[in-house]
Structure 1
Amino acid sequence: MNNKLYTQFVGSCSLVLFAFLGYVVRFYPGWIQPFDQFITNGIRSLYPTWTPFFLWITKFANPSTMVILFLALLFVLLYGKRYAEAAWFSLGIIGIAGIFNPLIKLLFMRERPTLEHLVTEHSYSFPSGHSTGSMVLYGTLIFLIALFIQNRYLKLGLQIILGSCILLIGISRVYLGVHFPSDIIGGFSLGLGWLLLSYPYYQKQRFIWRFKNKQL
């Protein structure tokens, strides 16, 4: 119960942060400009040395990559009769990253930075779709990886790699000039809020399905 309350508390805080950032971005964008400028200057100071790396890492959250990984992982889960996991995973990718994030961009209508764009983007800026998508996809894997790997050190190592991938994808979007840092934080907080608030319900559904299967 304590773990559930802690998870839901952190998830709620993530969504509050997202709502706060959205409010500021929509009505008082000048408030957050110094923060965005400071972080952007630090990341862009790596230009152009790190361009090949960030062009590569950002592809791990491109829509085409997300679709391929989603379908592949969904097949693995369904093949292994992990129906609760498949449902939770699908709701996050399709519902949050695929539908909700693009729609909510229309509410905030934030234009992208005026920096040189190293990749082509056409939608609005807040929240970052790459950040939301990577948090939902790779964040779900961080939770589910324990189902497939029992070795403690290997599991921890893979979770660290996945967490680092999420962070680097966010940084890449600022480096490539298509997002403000607050867009990235907004996308991360939206995705993390979904994961942490829905995780206890996924666990409950998983228990129910496993119990029914044992009875059968």
Structure 2
Amino acid sequence: MRLNLQLTKAFFLSVLALAGLLAIAQLIHWDRVVGFDSWVIDLVNGWHSDLATQVMVLFTTIGDAATVAAISLTALFLLYHLGSSRMELALFLAVVISSGVFNFLLKNVFQRVRPELNPLVHADGFSYPSGHSMSAFALYGILGFLIWLKVENKLWRTALLLVCIAMVLLIGTSRIYLGVHYPSDVVGGFLGGASLLTFAVWYYQQKKTEAS
């Protein structure tokens, strides 16, 4: 009964995150996020310095597709040596790959133009939701989930989970700082990644239950 409740919660969270992403898209269409976007952009602009720019460029590069692919392959190798099953490795790959596909589809549905705020780096394509943010949430989210399952040492597990959380936040923030995304794009990206992640967790737990 308790497990069924947990599975229901995971599926509900997936649907809720997707609903949030769609709700923000509608608010963007109605021009109801201008105040929020402006407030966050002004806040982040207050951090500008040469050092901060170098750090943000580093983290946005870490969120690029090529770097995500390299990190994913490295993570797969490490997860394999931690004893992850084929299903867990397949789950990891499915979440990472589907985040890119899902983001591409969403961008082409909503077709939001990127901000014209003198961006510090070049970025192509539409703006909503942020691809870097979605892929970061999906990658480090599923990696954190598998770390939680496989790393028994509590200190190491906590440290690695904190690193995963920090990576998601820093990559998302870098997109706002560098002027290539609105804050609402980043929030939408996080929600898209959260929807995929929680659905994956629900699916994994469902299969584990059926196998036991």
Does residue 102 in structure 1 map to residue 100 in structure 2? no
Contact 2:7/2:206, CA 8 A, preserved across alignment: no
TM-score of the superposed pair, with normalisation by structure 1: 0.88
Aligned to 1:33: 34
Cα shift at 1:6: 2.4
Aligned to 2:43: 42
Report deviation, 1:65. 0.6
> Matched residue of 2:33: which SS?
helix
Matches within 5 A, 1:109-188: 109-188=111-190
Residue 214 of structure 1 is matched in structure 2 by none
Assess, with a 3 A threshold, how the Cα gap between structure 1 residues 6 and 84 changes in structure 2: closer, same or farther: same
Q: Does 1:66 align with 2:46?
A: no
Could you list the per-position Cα deviations for residues 119-163 of structure 1 after superposition, in whole angstroms to 9, with x for gaps in the alignment? 111111000000000000000011000233101122112101111
Does residue 1:19 correspond to 2:22, yes or no?
yes
Find the aligned partners of 2:153 and 2:77 in 1 and give their Cα distance: 24
TM (normalized to structure 2)?
Answer: 0.90
Q: 2: distance between equivalents of 1:15 and 1:138?
A: 18
Q: How many residues align?
A: 207
Aligned-pair identity (%): 32
Contact kept, 8 Å, 1:77 with 1:83, in 2: the verdict is no
Q: Which runs of 5+ in 1 are unaligned?
A: 212-216
In structure 2, list runs of 5 or more residues that go unmatched. none
